Amino acid sequence: MKLTGEEARNVVHDDHEDWKPVAGTEETENHERWTVGYSGVFKHIPSGKFYSFYWTVGATESQDQCAYEYETEVEVVEVVLKLVQVEQWVGVESPGKLVSNEEHW
């Protein structure tokens, strides 16, 4: 689905009547020197479909950049909720605790 930059900005700022954020889906994806990248899932109310958005904002008050400020067109990806199993290494002495290489160095 394609949106204008202004429409996408309104969606991620929860200021669009046709879109609602899905609770618990917003995540910080990366943090660079000047910007912070976020992702989140939003429901398109008229269609009942869900879409993934990725946007960046200024990292400090000196970087006055808002989401999709320089985008004229934004393409968002339709997504569905699916159970995904993941294998992870956990400590033998403390089951359930994830192992971090930083703890060993």
Q: Which two tokens stand for residue 26?
A: 């917003």
Sign of CA dihedral 95, 101, 102, 104: positive
With 0-12 / 13-18 / 19 or more C-beta atoms within 10 angstroms meaning exposed / middle / buried, residue 8 is buried
Q: What pTM value is reported for the model?
A: 0.76
Per-residue pLDDT, 105: 46
Helix (H) or strand (E) holding 101: none
Q: Which two tokens stand for residue 97?
A: 């605790």
Tens of pLDDT along the chain (105 residues) come to 999 999 999 999 989 999 999 999 999 999 888 889 999 999 999 999 999 999 988 888 777 778 888 889 999 999 999 999 988 888 787 666 666 655 544
Kindly write down the DSSP assignment for every residue of 11-30, as one continuous string.
HHTT--TTEEEPTT--EEEE
